[in-house]
Amino acid sequence: MQLSIYYIVFGLGLRGGGDKLIEGVPFIIHLITGLFPWLFISQSINSGAVAINKNIGILSKMQFPSSVFISVSITNNIINLFITTTLIFIISLMNNFVPWWHYLYFIYFLFSSVILLYGLSLITSTLVIVVKDTKNVLQNLIRMFFFVSPIFWSVQESSPLLQKIAILNPFSYLIEIYRISFVHTDLSVIHWSNHVYFF
């Protein structure tokens, strides 16, 4: 349902037609290869931020690392990611978008995103306990990052200002890696300095 709304608004509405190609792929493919990893990222951040606070009662009764709850919340979102990625993988195979070895980039995407999300969750889950309004601030920040990440638009076809924002945005990096895994053959879209900056 979410995908349909975004396609109607951004594909048919703002772009004036969903049949236009973005970096050599139809807009709908560009949209889902941006939206699915973003849903994984945003849901992991949201669930990771409240993971400890939701289970504070269990933690007060038993002695074990509280970070276990963060790991469980991210793992649940990884399962959802695998389900949506299966659909993209089938579409990619049917259309021969990329050589077979590009699919290995998905493992790199998973590794990179889990490191970032786990680190962010450790910080935000602590802040949520100390400052209750952190959850509201976090939701607003996620909404902001949603629009400055290349989900609906292409980094290569955007203005210089948006390109600079995308370079500084770690979520843009992850979305581009995800797209390289399944639909984009051009590896030069991510410079070596982007890898260094991300890590």
**How many other C-beta atoms can be found within 10 angstroms of the C-beta atom of residue 80?**
14
Q: Tens of pLDDT along the chain (199 residues)?
A: 777 777 777 666 555 555 567 778 888 888 899 999 999 999 999 999 998 888 877 777 777 788 889 999 999 999 999 999 999 999 999 999 999 999 999 999 999 999 999 999 999 999 998 888 888 899 999 999 998 899 888 888 888 888 888 889 999 999 999 999 999 888 877 888 888 999 9
Residue 184, Ramachandran bin (φ over 0: left; ψ between -120 and 50: alpha; else beta): beta
DSSP code of residue 90: H
Q: What is the CA radius of gyration of the chain?
A: 18
Tokens of 93: 């195979």
Residues 6+ apart with CB under 8 A from 51: 69, 70, 72, 73, 121, 125
In this prediction the pTM is 0.87
CB atoms within 10 A of CB 171: 22
Rounded Cα distance between 154 and 151, Å, is 8
